[in-house]
Amino acid sequence: MDIRDQKISVAKIIEENKRKDKVKQALTEKSIPVLLFLMAIISIMTTIGIVMTLLVETITFFKRVNFIDFISGTEWFPFFEADPQYGIIPLISGTLLVAIIAMLVAIPIGLATAIYLSEFASERVRKIVKPILEVLAGIPTIVYGFFALTFVTPSLQKLVPDLNFFNALSPGIVVGIMIIPMVASLSEDAMSAVPRSMREGALALGSTKLEVSLKVVLPAALSGIIASFVLGISRAIGETMIVTIAGGSKPNLTFDPTETIQTMTAYIVQVSLGDASYGSTIYYSIYAVGMALFVFTLIMNIIAQWISKRYREEY
């Protein structure tokens, strides 16, 4: 084989490799969108499946229990054999009480942390504090629950002698601690998105760094900050293990944080542990409570999205 034939052979090999690469690239470009579409469909179908399961079982529950009595009743005693009561108001009040206490803890601490990280912290400090917040967010909620029961509650009882061992104050505080990273991270992202030129302009006019943070950056990032608050509230409403362990299991229509309460998620856990037989009214009640919880969380997420769109600043 002479040199000319060798050149032709090499050229053919190169051409063949190019053709194979083009085929692979074409297959990849066609298959990746299909794969991504399937992943999106799986997420959508999972959501639809969850909603349909809740809806079907909830309808079965309301065939046995009057809907008006369910949403307006002030007594929740499903385990009474003679006259069971299915008024969800006590569970809602316990859930909202814990969520309110949690946000009273999480909003000021989380917002202050976000302001510090965004406007005052050096890059070195930010690299140290951010991972610590992420570790706080990664702690299992059951660990938080036992922390609330064995440490926070005894500590609070020294300050509040009338505090029950199971109460709303302790889990509310610990849930607030748990969602601080969410509030701080989302708020800091919103504040970091504010253009540098706005800060520099305010500083050039003689404003202090604190004034720039509170009067320029904070209002400019308000939509993202409020959205983080609403998402934090929805996270607090849906919390399970902390309130199950430290809040108690007594449905109590009260807004006294020292009293024993039961949240919607805690009731679902109680029944799911085997306190009710399959097919009973009590069994179907957990789906009705779950649907109510789903509606609350959905409303919170819709509000967060509306606030983000309504008050978003375009730069």
* Segment 173-180 mean pLDDT: 92
User: What pLDDT sits at residue 179?
Assistant: 92
User: What pLDDT sits at residue 172?
Assistant: 93
User: What pLDDT sits at residue 101?
Assistant: 93
* Segment 46-66 mean pLDDT: 88
259-279: pLDDT as tens digits = 888 889 888 888 887 667 777
* Segment 37-58 mean pLDDT: 88
The residue with greater pLDDT, 156 or 34, is: 156
Percent share of the chain, pLDDT over 70 = 90
* Segment 234-243 mean pLDDT: 86
pTM: 0.82
Domain parsing of the chain, residue ranges = 3-63, 76-310
Tell whether the model's pLDDT for residue 117 goes beyond 70.
yes
User: What pLDDT sits at residue 9?
Assistant: 62
* Segment 153-170 mean pLDDT: 88
Tell whether the model's pLDDT for residue 173 goes beyond 90.
yes
Q: What is the 3-state secondary structure (H, E, C) of the chain?
A: CCHHHHHHHHHHHHHHHHHHHHHHHHHHHHHHHHHHHHHHHHHHHHHHHHHHHHHHHHHHHHCCCCHHHHHHCCCEECCCCCCCEECCHHHHHHHHHHHHHHHHHHHHHHHHHHHHHHHHCCHHHHHHHHHHHHHHHHCCHHHHHHHHHHHHHHHHHHHCCCCCCCCCHHHHHHHHHHHHHHHHHHHHHHHHCCCHHHHHHHHHCCCCHHHHHHHHHHHHCHHHHHHHHHHHHHHHHCCCHHHHHHCCCCCCCCCCCCCCCCCHHHHHHHHHHHHCCCCCHHHHHHHHHHHHHHHHHHHHHHHHHHHHHHCCCCC
* Segment 68-89 mean pLDDT: 84
* Segment 202-222 mean pLDDT: 84
Tell whether the model's pLDDT for residue 311 goes beyond 60.
yes
CATH of 76-310, one of 2.60.34.30, 3.40.50.2300, 1.10.260.40, 1.10.3720.10: 1.10.3720.10
Contact 89, 102 (CB under 8 A): no
Tell whether the model's pLDDT for residue 105 goes beyond 90.
yes
